[in-house]
Amino acid sequence: MLESEKCKLRSYKHFENDADYGRNWAPINWAFALVIKSRQRGKIVADIWAGKLCDEIRKFKNCLQILCNYDWVPIPLAYPQFVILAVYAYFAICLLSRQFAILDGKNVSCFISKIFNGFSVL
């Protein structure tokens, strides 16, 4: 973004409300305007190409909107910590459960492990 565009973007006082996020979509509107001006000046030869460019810009805008929608939903701080703890506990238990216990020179858990290993099924 050029300095003149940054100044112009900051000058939009009516987009200061954080609820509508209008200032975030100004560059997308500028891209649409550039496509229309380019078509009018003859830099884009056919209307179908201008339409395809507008469709691609619209797809990009929709993907950004989906990303903003996910950003508006707050994730509790305890949830990622719980998931990390659960994964670490699972792998620690799997690591310990696959060890063979040797008692009196015999491999006690070898027979049980070959039949059914419960933590591997989880």
Residue % of the chain over a pLDDT of 70: 68
Structure confidence by residue, pLDDT tens digits, 37-78: 999 999 999 999 999 999 999 999 999 888 888 877 777 778
pLDDT at 53 (0 to 100):
94
Higher-confidence position of 22 and 114: 22
Residues 113, 98 contacting (CB under 8 angstroms): yes
pLDDT beyond 70 at 32 = yes
- pLDDT tens, position by position, 11-20: 766 555 555 5
Tokens, residue 25: 């979509």
Query: CA 66, CA 72: separation in Å to the nearest integer?
Result: 10
Closest CA to 18 of 57, 61, 59, 71: 71
Predicted TM-score (pTM) above 0.85: no
Q: What angle do CA 14, 16, 22 make, to 5 degrees?
A: 75
- Interacting residues of 16 by C-beta distance below 8 A, sequence separation 6+: 23
**Mean of all residue pLDDT scores within the chain:** 77
